[in-house]
Amino acid sequence: MSDPASEIAELRAALAAQSARAQAAERNLALARALASCTEAMIQELKLEIAKLRRDKYGISSERRARLIDQLEW
């Protein structure tokens, strides 16, 4: 049988390692969420730019589209 003190030391080391892995996973999750948020903002910005370019090229086909573009700008 192992010495109780060494078992406690092993358990503490395992707990510390698990805690470090959990913190690393939380950091990775936060980075992934930030990247997703940034990507979503970029997509919205590009959609707005496309809408503006279409409006410039084809003109305003309806008031609804103009209001939608104005809403996206805010």
Using the predicted structure, report yes or no on whether residue 1 has a pLDDT greater than 90. no
Rounded to 10 deg, the angle between the 4-58 and 63-73 helix axes is 140
Range of the domain at 56: 4-73
pLDDT value for 61: 61
Q: Give Rg (Cα) of the chain.
A: 27
Give this prediction's pTM. 0.60
pLDDT value for 58: 78
- Six token digits for residue 56: 């410039």
How many domains are there within the chain? Answer: 1
What is the rounded distance in angstroms from the CA atom of residue 32 to the CA atom of residue 5?
41
What are 10-64's pLDDT values in tens digits? Answer: 999 999 999 999 999 999 999 999 999 999 999 999 999 998 888 888 776 666 6
